[in-house]
Amino acid sequence: MTFFNSEIVQQELQRMQDLYLEINKMGLVLSIPQKREQLDKMIELIDIQQTMYMRVTLSDDPQAEQLCAQVREAAKMVGLSPNDVNHTFYDTLRDNVRKMIDELPK
């Protein structure tokens, strides 16, 4: 079985896509509760992305290795070093989103 044929991987990929669409559909002009909901969804998306990243780095499937290389290449496109993309990268993203939640008016 290849990496991407795994039922668990397929479910996580679908959930990532669903979350991404939900976040984008919410738009940019949001009330405080809507913004909190959007940021909560972002944390969930980051959690799934981190799990998926760990899976691809541990897999010897050529498609998983290719995805890992694509993620590192995408990092360069946004000004990051490919070496910065690791499990702690997602921790930093999550921390940044949590700070945004903490800064929302109560």
Extract the tokens encoding 2.
Answer: 């290849």
Distances (CA, A) of 67 to 12, 20, 31, 64, 86: 15, 18, 36, 5, 13
pLDDT beyond 80 at 78: no
Domain boundaries, the chain: 3-103
The continuous run of DSSP H or E covering 79 comes out as none
Amino acid at 69: A
Q: Tokens 């360069």 appear where?
A: 76
Looking at per-residue confidence, does 60 or 75 come out higher? 60
Q: Could you tell me which residue, 72 or 29, shows the higher pLDDT?
A: 29
Q: Mind listing the pLDDT tens digit for each residue in 46-69?
A: 999 999 999 999 999 999 989 888
Buried b (16+ CB within 10 A) or exposed e, 39-60: bebbbebbebbbbbbebbeebe
pLDDT for the residue 72? 85
Average pLDDT value over all residues in the chain: 91
